[in-house]
Amino acid sequence: MENKFIRKNYIKNIKRVVVKIGTSTLTYSNGLLNLNRIELLVRQLSDLHNRGIEIILVSSGAIGAGIGKLGLNSKPKTIPEKQAAAAIGQGILLHMYEKVFSEYSKTIAQILLTREDMMDRTRFLNARNALFTLLDKDIIPIINENDAIVVDEIKFGDNDTLSSLVSSLVEADLLIILSDIDGLYDCDPHTNKSAKLFDLIEKITPEIEKMAGGAGSNLGTGGMATKIKAGKIATSSGTDMVIVNGSRNNILQSVLDGENVGTWFKSKNAPLAAKKRWIAFNSNIKGNLIVDKGACEALCSCQKSLLASGILSIEGTFDKGESVSIKDENNKELARGLVNYNSKELNLIKGLKSCEFESKINHNDYDEVIHKNNLVLMK
């Protein structure tokens, strides 16, 4: 078949790779670091770096390393306990990476992020510039969530999501997620020996999400559901993603040699532009605009701007320039965008034509509530 996706052909064009390593790959069940696994992975990463591939490492394990050091028998349940474990474990983890990477003459840098860093446009751009500078200087950035200070309101939730957002941030060619499973199966391989492993996913459909367990499944944080969510972000941003088993020998080399290992998620042919990626996946949603059927059609089928005439109701309080979610009458999210009017003004002009704005709010700065250039469809 002429258009068949062949990994070896694609691999030739890969220059920048984000690798996500989970806690289960880095630590034993008792929380202590798996030193042998870390050394093997660092050696592979260093070898890929020697090939001329830019490497960004998103590493879990800080809380796990802290648990081991604290001598706890299980993962702490409260935020303060997790923060304390992370504060101890982050230093342990970085010291280990520094020690092993230096054996291969590699320089590393640590960057700790919170969701708030990605939601704020200025901080987002600062993080992007810092990472590009590190890569230009041939340094390997190691990124983790800043668990020592993070609270629920600004958590990424899992490092699968963090790694996909970092991939979008740095415009990576490929995201490699190292897991404790070989990839995406059509059902749980732990309970069904006949489970089929998918080699290629060209589009993440509702059926694919259902196979992953969906939200609230017993797979929990770091399960397949979060990896599928990461895949949606990565592929929408123009980054391919592959899920592979991190315990397999030389797995990173196998991926970058084009071998058919794990499950490959193909990126969209027309990825979102940088600003729209930020709107879709990083901006802080401050409210909702409920729109009528005509507006739904204009947005989804015709890729038009959102006009006040199609807005039925406003939810939340927000200022001009902030991000809102656009929903239909059934509360299904259609799009996200940056508003040209604040919530108080929108409550006065909803349902009106632009020529009527001035009589209600004493100005008519924009005909559109959200211009199509600042609007992203969430399909």
> DSSP letter at 207?
H
Which CATH number does the domain 7-276 belong to among 2.40.160.20, 3.40.50.2300, 1.10.1040.10, 3.40.1160.10? 3.40.1160.10
**Alpha-helical regions (H) of the chain:** 7-11, 23-26, 35-50, 62-70, 79-102, 115-119, 121-136, 159-170, 206-211, 224-236, 251-256, 274-281, 293-300, 343-349, 357-361
Task: Tell me: is residue 275 an annotated ligand-binding position.
Answer: no
What are the tokens at 282? 């990083």
Task: Tell me: is residue 78 an annotated ligand-binding position.
Answer: no
Residues in the chain: 379
What are the tokens at 296? 């739904």
Task: Tell me: is residue 273 an annotated ligand-binding position.
Answer: no
Task: Tell me: is residue 20 an annotated ligand-binding position.
Answer: yes
**How many CB atoms are located within 10 Å of the residue 307 CB?**
19
Task: Tell me: is residue 179 an annotated ligand-binding position.
Answer: yes
Q: Is the pTM of this model over 0.85?
A: no
* pLDDT value of position 312: 96
Q: What is the pLDDT of residues 152-191, one digit of tens each?
A: 543 556 789 899 999 999 999 999 999 888 999 888 787 8
CA distance 159 to 196: 26
* HEC profile of 231-264: HHHHHHCCCEEEEEECCCCCHHHHHHCCCCCCEE
Same fold flag, 7-276 and 284-377: no
Task: Tell me: is residue 239 an annotated ligand-binding position.
Answer: no
List of the chain residues with pLDDT < 70: 1-3, 30-31, 147-157, 213-222
What are the tokens at 94? 């970085």
CA distance 116 to 65: 25
Q: What is the pLDDT of residues 68-77, one digit of tens each?
A: 788 777 777 7
Task: Tell me: is residue 60 an annotated ligand-binding position.
Answer: yes
The number of helices, as runs of H, and strands, as runs of E, in the chain is 15, 13
Locate the domains of the chain by residue range.
7-276, 284-377
Task: Tell me: is residue 235 an annotated ligand-binding position.
Answer: no
Task: Tell me: is residue 180 an annotated ligand-binding position.
Answer: yes
Domain 284-377: give its CATH code.
2.30.130.10
